[in-house]
Structure 1
Amino acid sequence: MSSHSSAIAYRLEAARSVVRDAGQLAMAMRPAPGGPAGTQKSAQDWLTETDGAVEAFIADRMKTLFPEDGFQGEEGGVARDGQLRWVVDPIDGTSNYARGRNRWCVSLGLLDGDKPVAGVIEAPALGEVYTAHVGHGAFLNGKPIQVSPVKEPASAMIEMGWSNRVPREVFMEKMDAIMRLGAMPRSGGSGALALADVACGRLDGYIEIVINLWDVAAALPLLAEVGASVSPFLANGGLTGPATILAANPHIAEALSAAVSIPLK
């Protein structure tokens, strides 16, 4: 392993510890099941006290551990620049978290320039931790993962993320295209976990028309390591603003891409 690769591996191990502690903080602050706890930024777009607390916790820890690294958070924006840059979504799936549901995660990705190189996604309420280091594998709770072997769209399970930034007509058009393939549609409320589900074979594909870097930064190394087909999210503007993503197992990727008119290249 080169010295640079060793530096990434060391950072990933440190990030794993920091994210574990951040997940414990989020669990301690977790609302009880019921009506949403938090403030509504816009339709179905929630912010809780935990989002800010978890992001601040991770930001402080990473600054102490790696003061030379850049840092970008969903809530705080780009706090520091650096060749290596951490990108955090403190609570991905806030609408679920705010209602005491289980499908949410803490997501922390590492970019080397404009290349995702490592990531940690922890879903504390589910007892699951995904890790990946490009060139060194992708894992769920320490065990290697792989994409689904499903080849027929009529046997596929496809998730599509919803956003109030997408016109209803566009969402319905894409969802209709998925169903016309014969695939089973899903929508779970966490982009990071949906992408991780593609990486481990629980889903055959995931689509979101408008999604941000912090939602996908930790998942992109997972997808790369398992050979998933992924649209060029970063090249299409995802480094600096919202963009569209399609990720799928390679057996159905072309059919899904054609059906929903989202190019893979």
Structure 2
Amino acid sequence: MTPSSALLAPAAALDLDARAAFCVALARSAGEIAREGFAARAAAGPDAGIGMKGPQDFLTETDTAVERHIKARLAESFPADGFLGEETGGTVEGHVWVVDPIDGTANFARAIPHFCISIAFVADGEIEIGAIYNPALDELHFARRDHGATLNDRPIRVSRTSAYTAACVELGWSNRLPNATYLAVLSDLLERGANVRRAASGALGLAYVADGRSDGYAELHMNPWDCLAGLLLVREAGGRVGPFLALDGLAKGGGVLAAAPGIASGMSAATGIPLEP
């Protein structure tokens, strides 16, 4: 099979077992680089310089090093697969790995151990594999489509919360939309009785919905590398999610919603983001 024909092969013809095992190992090896960078960052102290790509858009040397490592390993092992990364870009065509080398860079840069590596594999319009790894806490969330979701190899499920007065949800912020829009959603969720948090890592926010530590996550615009692995995790853990890929999110990004079933409809109404059937 030539590389071009492999790109066109249906997902059923791909060796997803091999890719799943590789994804877990890749997340952990990339995590070693991130862990070393985090230790160095913490030792440098708060006065160390922080690179900026734009307003509230941070960049560290570790972002670049982790993405370089992941991209090189994928090219060696699955050369016919495409690649889309936050730092180096890539393609949205064919079967593609979608990577955020450090999600939560603002936390990472300030020595806050709430950041992660997010890796997803997409084929035929479906998220087939997803991994989110926080190396600071050694927590690896992993999911494969129709195979369930795990945290450090233990099965996980979304929460059973159904009352907003008992719900803890996270609302991500994006400078792509007016602050007034964000504040309107925040106000709606607070009026429903929810406790609303923001921890500055969308990927981990989604992972925490999958394992029940949070009841919902929403962000009015996210890039695909921030959310694809997390959306698969929540779906495989029994939660409800929005139709991100169906709305051309792989190419353009878009609104993200993931929630426990008991509060999903209310979060959809508050955010204006629809739910998958």
Q: TM-score, normalised by structure 2?
A: 0.90
- Rounded to whole Å, the distance in 1 between the matches of 2:92 and 2:274 is 33
| Pair 1:19-2:33 in alignment | no
Measured against aligned partners, the alpha-carbon deviations of 1:108-158 in whole angstroms (never above 9, x if no partner) come to: 100012210111110001220001111111000110000001110111011
Q: Which residue of the other structure, out of 38, 52, 64, is the alignment partner of 1:40?
A: 52
Q: Once the 2 structures are TM-superposed, how far is the Cα of residue 19 of structure 1 from its aligned partner?
A: 1.3
Match for 2:112: what amino acid? R
Aligned to 1:136: 147
Q: How does 1:148-163 map to 2 (within 5 A)?
A: 148-163=159-174
Aligned to 1:256: 267
Structure 1 runs of 4+ aligned residues shifted over 4 Å read none
Unaligned runs of 5+ in 2: 1-10
- Rounded to whole Å, the distance in 2 between the matches of 1:237 and 1:36 is 39
Q: How does 1:51-70 map to 2 (within 5 A)?
A: 51-70=63-82
Change (3 A) 1:23 1:5: farther
Unaligned runs of 5+ in 1: none
* Contact 1:231/1:245 (8 A) holds in 2: yes
SS in 2 for 1:132: strand
SS in 2 for 1:240: helix
Aligned to 2:158: 147
Q: Once the 2 structures are TM-superposed, how far is the Cα of residue 260 of structure 1 from its aligned partner?
A: 2.9
Q: Once the 2 structures are TM-superposed, how far is the Cα of residue 49 of structure 1 from its aligned partner?
A: 1.0
Q: Once the 2 structures are TM-superposed, how far is the Cα of residue 37 of structure 1 from its aligned partner?
A: 4.2
| Pair 1:192-2:203 in alignment | yes
SS in 2 for 1:163: coil
Match for 1:172: what amino acid? L
Change (3 A) 1:248 1:35: farther
CA RMSD for the aligned pairs?
1.7
Q: Once the 2 structures are TM-superposed, how far is the Cα of residue 80 of structure 1 from its aligned partner?
A: 8.3
Change (3 A) 1:23 1:178: same
Q: Which residue of the other structure, out of 207, 213, 225, is the alignment partner of 1:214?
A: 225
Worse-superposed segment, 86-95 or 31-40 = 31-40
